Amino acid sequence: MINSNLLTVRDLKKYFDTRAGFLKKPAPVHAVDGVNLNVGQKDVLGLVGESGCGKSTLGRSILRLIEPTSGEIIFDGEDMMKVDNRRLRALRRKMQIIFQDPFSSLNPRKRVIDTVGEPFIIYGMAKGKALKERVVSILEKVGLSSDSLYRYPHEFSGGQRQRIGIARALAVEPVFIVADEPLSALDVSIQAQIINLLQELQTSLGISFLFISHDLKVVRHFSERVTVMYLGIIVETGKTEDIFTNPQHPYTEALLTAIPMPDPSTKRKKIILAGDVPNPAQIPPGCRFHPRCPKRIEPCDKIRPKTTDLGGGHSVECHLRG
Amino acid sequence: METLLSVQDLKTYFYTGDGPIKAIDGLSFDLIKGTVFGLVGESGCGKSVTALSIMRILPPAGKTVSGKIIFKGDDLLNKTEAEMRGIRGGEISMIFQEPIASLNPIFTIGYQIEEAILSHLKVSKRESKKRVVELLKAVGMPSPEIRVKDYPHQLSGGMCQRVMIAMAMACEPSLIIADEPTTALDVTIQAQILDLLRKIREESGTSMIMITHDLGIIAEMADSVAVMYTGRIVESTDTRTIFRDPRHPYTIGLLDSLPKGKGEKLVAIPGMVPKPSELPEGCKFSTRCRYVIEECQSSEPPLKEIDTGHWVRCIRSGEIKRL
Ligand SMILES: Nc1ncnc2c1ncn2[C@@H]1O[C@H](COP(=O)(O)OP(=O)(O)OP(=O)(O)O)[C@@H](O)[C@H]1O
Ligand code: SF4
Ligand SMILES: [Mg+2]
């Protein structure tokens, strides 16, 4: 596992300065606050957590679409934080992102051939007839026919636009894709089509994914491993089945029981967390989850737990397992 | 079993430019008093328009052109606007998807709930103030005496939804229509709100229409359910049966589309929902249906009762089973 790592992220931080009111001290928002993770070759790491916990910021910081505050991002043996701009551009060719909203992530004035073909032109890989052929073959991969070539985004449905977004990402033949909630703007029946597409591409092209989603059912279906984020940090990581059948962090446990299951015959006991999704500008001391934790014990509100390695790639940050 | 609400052959059309958009085209269902009726379907199938038609708060371009909405024995479509104002918020309340947008930003939440009480009940200001605090407490608002002075933007989405529910409960309505009440919320907050709605239903016996695109919410909340597609019901029965023995190809397709765990390919429904202006002749699902035969395309199948209380709009429902 270790030597087949494609991406290793160490102690990555991204703080945003907020402009507080007059006379108020600006309070930096610790959106990503010391994250460690790794993604192997042909691996799919699911990243789950609630709104504002830092999922998207983490995904974008890894690609340096947002400039991280500090940390290491080792991609294919090179530290993304240390390379110069030319090298960064070259590395970026191997990494792509797919966004949540297929409506706003495509340029409305660009035809499909321009959007999907853009990277070929930027990197000088193809033009003219060759370009058209390459674009058509990518469109085929994502299930769009060649008569889409000269049409504009508004002529497509949500699911089709997401296919265009995926085609754009595939154009440069990336080895790693950050998919940031790629399904959440889509209807159930279309979601299933896109999940199938991503899965096909993943297996046939061997692309690694960081798959960001708040939908745990989708994550379970698509990911090899899962990592759970809470208030800027990772609280639990493990193989998908271990996380879903044997969660060790009380937050993971609560998240899992909170999903409404489409099966009226299973009566599960729900763990209903008190309190709101927390604010990353006000991080509680000790364990960040302690104000909402139904199992909190003596040191939780004072001392931050260490990460415990439970073996088999399963790790957790919680005093109960410390 | 007393029927509280009976929607009969409802048609609501929108008139925008060329030709009417038939958002609801012949919708019928009964809501039994004290139960939760789920309406499920994908975006644009007409769930919200159904709710707005019942409340009679359609946007100007929308018009209910025929049908009946029998509530407690009277047709709401025959009520005057003044009568409807008494019913809305009094007898029937609605909870919307976007809690923050549904509250008025320039009034405190206490004031808004109080208004809801005073416009329907004859109580003193003092009493209504007391009732506001009680209501906020009942929906799980921490320190309600202080929070009454908050403006909507000072509250989180989940807290705003609690305020909306408090307002909806203010006059002890017999029916609450909840249109995607948790779609905009995080999963742990969704669990809180669903739990609250469950408690309200147990404690006050309020009937509910629960509108959602999430079959999980249907499984957890609804007693019976109708699956909608292109402005019509394609299947309707009790919740157990819809999951155990679905008979409409669309219902089966929706259930098969759900990811179940790590693994194999999902059986997705091909294609996409046709535009309202491009609906096919005959069965509206025929363009995506894997059981389609020639007969399906000639005339639209009626909603047929294939078993007691189990209605299906498909000519082949007898032969079709989910594997
Ligand atoms: N103001 C309007 N003007 C014109 N057409 C409208 C209007 N509101 C709704 N419609 C049409 O009515 C149909 C039903 O819409 P409705 O909002 O009820 O769907 P829905 O099932 O609630 O979808 P969602 O899951 O996205 O909330 C759609 O075809 C929509 O385009
Ligand atoms: S009537 Fe025909 S097309 Fe329609 S759902 Fe049934 S089998 Fe499919
Ligand atoms: Mg709606």
What is the per-residue DSSP string for A218-243? HHHHH-SEEEEEETTEEEEEEEHHHH
pLDDT at A19: 63
Best residue in B45, B161, B220, B223 to probe A by mutation, most A CBs within 10 Å? B220
Q: Which of B240, B197, B71 is closest to A266 using CA atoms? A: B240
Domains of chain A: 2-94+174-321 (3.40.50.300)
pLDDT at B111: 95
Kindly state the average pLDDT of the residues A214-229: 94
Q: Does residue B20 have its Cβ closer than 6 Å to ligand 1?
A: no
Q: Is there a domain that residue B142 lies in?
A: yes
* Beta-carbon separation of A221 and B263 below 8 A: yes
Classify each residue of A250-285 as buried b or exposed e, where b means 16 or more C-beta atoms within 10 Å of its C-beta.
bbbbbbbbbbbbbbbeeeeebbebeebbbebeeeee
Q: Does residue B23 have its Cβ closer than 6 Å to ligand 1?
A: yes
Considering only A73-82, A84-93, A221-230, A253-262, which range has the smallest mean pLDDT? Answer: A84-93
Q: Does residue B14 have its Cβ closer than 6 Å to ligand 2?
A: no
Q: Does residue B246 have its Cβ closer than 6 Å to ligand 2?
A: no
Q: Is there a domain that residue B132 lies in?
A: yes
Considering only A76-80, A314-318, B51-55, B67-71, which range has the smallest mean pLDDT? Answer: A76-80
- Is residue B275's pLDDT more than 90? no
- Is residue A222's pLDDT more than 90? yes
Best residue in A44, A48, A154, A263 to probe B by mutation, most B CBs within 10 Å? A263
pLDDT confidence tier of residue A123, bands split at 50, 70 and 90: confident
Kindly state the average pLDDT of the residues A286-306: 96
pLDDT confidence tier of residue B75, bands split at 50, 70 and 90: very high
Angle among Cα A74, A80, A86 to the nearest 5 degrees reads: 140
User: What is the rounded CA–CA span in Å between residue B151 and residue B159?
Assistant: 11
- Is residue B28's pLDDT more than 90? yes
pLDDT digits (tens, 9 = 90+) for B208-245: 999 999 999 999 999 999 999 999 999 999 999 999 99
Classify each residue of B51-82 as buried b or exposed e, where b means 16 or more C-beta atoms within 10 Å of its C-beta.
bbbbbbebeeebebeebbbbbeeeebbebeee
User: What is the rounded CA–CA span in Å between residue A273 and residue B126?
Assistant: 34
Query: Which residues make Cβ contacts (< 8 Å) with residue A111, sequence separation at least 6?
Result: A149, A150, A151, A152
Q: Does residue B96 have its Cβ closer than 6 Å to ligand 1?
A: no
Q: Is there a domain that residue B42 lies in?
A: no
pLDDT at B279: 92
Size (chain A), residues: 322
SS3 of residue B289 by DSSP: coil
Residue B192: its chain A contacts at CB < 8 A?
272-274
pLDDT at A26: 66
User: What is the rounded CA–CA span in Å between residue A136 and residue A133?
Assistant: 5
Query: In angstroms, what is the C-alpha Rg of chain A?
Result: 21
pTM confidence score: 0.91
Q: What percent of chain B has pLDDT over 90?
A: 82
φ, ψ (nearest 5 deg) of residue A284: -65, 150
Kindly state the average pLDDT of the residues A218-242: 96
pLDDT at A3: 45
The shortest C-alpha distance from A262 to chain B (Å) reads: 4
> Which residue carries 């052109």 as its tokens?
B65
Residue to mutate (ligand 2; options B289, B294, B295, B317; most atoms within 8 A of CB): B289
The shortest C-alpha distance from B238 to chain A (Å) reads: 11
Residue to mutate (ligand 1; options B47, B50, B94, B210; most atoms within 8 A of CB): B47
Q: Is there a domain that residue B148 lies in?
A: yes
Of all atoms in ligand 2, which is nearest to the CA of residue B291?
7
- The secondary element (H helix, E strand) that includes residue A84 is none
Considering only A40-54, A70-84, A91-105, B298-312, which range has the smallest mean pLDDT? Answer: A91-105
Q: Is there a domain that residue B317 lies in?
A: no
* CA B125, chain centre distance (Å): 33
Q: Is there a domain that residue B215 lies in?
A: no
Q: Does residue B90 have its Cβ closer than 6 Å to ligand 1?
A: no
Total domains in chain B come to 1
* Beta-carbon separation of A255 and B239 below 8 A: no
B231 Cα to the center of ligand 1, angstroms: 9
pLDDT confidence tier of residue A2, bands split at 50, 70 and 90: very low
Give yes or no for a contact between B175 and B71, defined as CB atoms under 8 angstroms apart. Answer: yes
φ, ψ (nearest 5 deg) of residue A225: -135, 160
pLDDT confidence tier of residue A24, bands split at 50, 70 and 90: low
Query: Which residues make Cβ contacts (< 8 Å) with residue B78, sequence separation at least 6?
Result: none
User: What is the rounded CA–CA span in Å between residue A259 and residue A280?
Assistant: 24
- Is residue A277's pLDDT more than 90? no
Q: Is there a domain that residue B273 lies in?
A: no
* Beta-carbon separation of B243 and A276 below 8 A: no
Kindly state the average pLDDT of the residues A134-145: 91
pLDDT at B173: 95
Nearest to A221 among B216, B255, B261 (CB): B261
Structure tokens at A172: 């440069």
Nearest to A255 among B158, B187, B216 (CB): B187
Write the burial class of residue B124 (CB in 10 Å: 0-12 exposed, 13-18 middle, 19+ buried).
exposed
Residue ranges making up the domain that contains B114: 102-172
- Give me the numbers of helices (H) and strands (E) for chain B, helices first please: 11, 12
Kindly state the average pLDDT of the residues A116-131: 87
Nearest to B259 among A50, A187, A217 (CB): A217
pLDDT confidence tier of residue A204, bands split at 50, 70 and 90: very high
pLDDT confidence tier of residue A116, bands split at 50, 70 and 90: very high
Nearest to B219 among A189, A192, A264 (CB): A264
Q: Is there a domain that residue B16 lies in?
A: no
The shortest C-alpha distance from B69 to chain A (Å) reads: 29
SS3 of residue A8 by DSSP: strand
pLDDT digits (tens, 9 = 90+) for B110-164: 999 999 999 888 899 999 999 999 999 999 898 899 999 999 998 888 899 999 9
> Which residue carries 């240390």 as its tokens?
A82
Residue A157: its chain B contacts at CB < 8 A?
272
B295 Cα to the center of ligand 2, angstroms: 9
What residue owns the CA closest to ligand 1's atom 8?
B49
- Which residue of chain B is at minimal alpha-carbon distance from A51? B186
Residue to mutate (ligand 1; options B12, B14, B277; most atoms within 8 A of CB): B14
Give yes or no for a contact between A258 and B188, defined as CB atoms under 8 angstroms apart. Answer: yes
Cα end-to-end span (Å), chain B: 34
pLDDT digits (tens, 9 = 90+) for A155-201: 888 888 999 999 999 998 999 999 999 998 888 888 999 999 999 99
B47 Cα to the center of ligand 1, angstroms: 8
Q: Which of A260, A321, A263 is closest to A293 using CA atoms? A: A321
Residue B195: its chain A contacts at CB < 8 A?
270, 272
φ, ψ (nearest 5 deg) of residue B76: -60, -25
